[in-house]
Structure 1
Amino acid sequence: MIIGLLNQKGGVGKTTLAVNLAAELAGTGARVLLLDADPQGSSLDWAAAREGEPLFSVVGLPRATIHKEIGALGRDYDHIIIDGPPRVTDLARSAIMASDMVLIPVQPSPYDVWAAAEVVKLIEEAGVYKDNLKAAFVVNRKIANTAIGRDVGEALAGYPLPTLEASITQRVIFAEAAARGQAVRELDPRGPAAKEVAAVATELLEQNP
């Protein structure tokens, strides 16, 4: 499965979710490739901060030819996670066309909900050429026990895409793990953050058997 994480608004936690999803899938014994298509190279920075054996492969490919090169790059992998660019560009279009599933991380903020319109438009355009393309929102960096955290799902209902049942809560452990080039499942395997990431991964696998 090829999962592309995209949102034209920066700061939504796209890279954090990408590396932790990759780690979760790798933890099942799957061969996983994390493709860093963001010119900022945040996933590559995460990999560089890591000491010890890598959990999965990380490759930088911030070019608008991902959909043409993904076949050769992904030949030896069970899953590919694409950490997409933060802007609507030809690079973003290529990442979408390369994906089986596009996951759109959205923070519980009106600005994030409004900004999602651009990515939804790109997905609809790509669907003309790739009719089996799937897409969904995932609520990320949710603030626990707040009204806005609960209401974001209703706000996203205005778009023609589903929202995953699983969501990710804002937790300090995500930043702590990132600083070490680790995943939350390594720092606290049975903690709430690791369980939330696992729930997102499980839901994605169920939707894309």
Structure 2
Amino acid sequence: MFVLAVIGQKGGSGKTTLALNLAVAAAEDGLTAVIIDLDPQANATNWKDRRKSENPAVVSSPPGRLKQTLEAAASHGAQFVVIDNPGKADSGAINAAGFADLVYVPVGPQMFHLETLPGVYRLLQASENSPPAFIVLNGVHPSATIQAEKTKEMIGAAYPIPMCPHHMSHLDVYATSADAGLSPLELNAQGRAGSEIIQLYKFTCAQSHKLEKLHGKSGRIAKRA
């Protein structure tokens, strides 16, 4: 079972959006996916209430029960688990990182988002597991691709957490699809948002030998952009 923790020190950075869409990509790839919702705002859980498909499953859990929730997911055959954390760097986030094979830290391109990264780095250093981690740039203006690449270079030079080479744009379809309990990947996989999700998912698979063995079995994601 592969476990991805999505963490950050600030709300509104796109943690839940990233978690939902990567879990849907895994489901589209033929894997049994689970989102563990640790956020009291319960955005992932509410999204599931609007959704018809059972994959990915969403399980709401208090941070203190994360170990037991992960064990239950494994016993039910989960293959791809995403832990959606609240927007704060605390002992719960340290605990989540400790159980993860990989950590993503989504941030917006604004400076007040970037200024949270030193705190997140200290959190990762405090984790017993010290899993590999990547910063994922989120909320990029659709016409600012060149500026996004410059921002990635600046972040990569200034902070010790490596940059993911792919980003998520500020596109209405992320919100409208979530309102319907869906992902842009399910509405239009060839669209810009769908392509971004697939790129991020494939990058995720490339980071783990666990996922490399499972990725592409359905043939659906493997054939896409």
Query: Could you list the runs of 5+ residues in structure 2 that have no partner in the other structure?
Result: 210-225
2:148 aligned residue: 149
Q: How do 1:102-121 and structure 2 match up within 5 A?
A: 102-121=103-122
Given that 2:90 and 2:123 are in contact with CA atoms closer than 8 Å, whether structure 1 keeps it comes out as no
Deviation string for 1:53-99 (max 9, x for gaps)? 32311000122342454233333111100111111222212211121
2:159 aligned residue: 159
Given that 1:7 and 1:86 are in contact with CA atoms closer than 8 Å, whether structure 2 keeps it comes out as yes
1:195 aligned residue: 195
Given that 1:113 and 1:155 are in contact with CA atoms closer than 8 Å, whether structure 2 keeps it comes out as no
TM-score normalised by structure 1 residue count: 0.92
1:181 aligned residue: 181
Distance in 1, matches of 2:7 and 2:161, equals 14
- The runs of at least 4 aligned residues of structure 1 exceeding 6 Å deviation read none
Deviation string for 1:162-192 (max 9, x for gaps)? 1111111110100110110111111112111
Note closer, same or farther for the CA distance 1:68–1:97 as it changes in structure 2 (3 Å cut).
farther
Query: Could you list the runs of 5+ residues in structure 1 that have no partner in the other structure?
Result: none
The one-letter amino acid paired with 2:115 is: W
Distance in 2, matches of 1:179 and 1:203, equals 26
Distance in 2, matches of 1:145 and 1:58, equals 34
The one-letter amino acid paired with 2:11 is: G
> Percent of pairs identical after alignment?
26
Given that 2:135 and 2:163 are in contact with CA atoms closer than 8 Å, whether structure 1 keeps it comes out as yes
Q: Does 1:137 align with 2:135?
A: yes
Distance in 1, matches of 2:67 and 2:115, equals 27
TM-score normalised by structure 2 residue count: 0.86
Deviation of the 1:48 alpha carbon: 0.9
1:18 aligned residue: 19
Question: In the comparison of the two structures, how many residue pairs are matched?
Answer: 205
2:85 aligned residue: 84
Distance in 2, matches of 1:53 and 1:113, equals 35
Q: CA RMSD in A?
A: 1.5
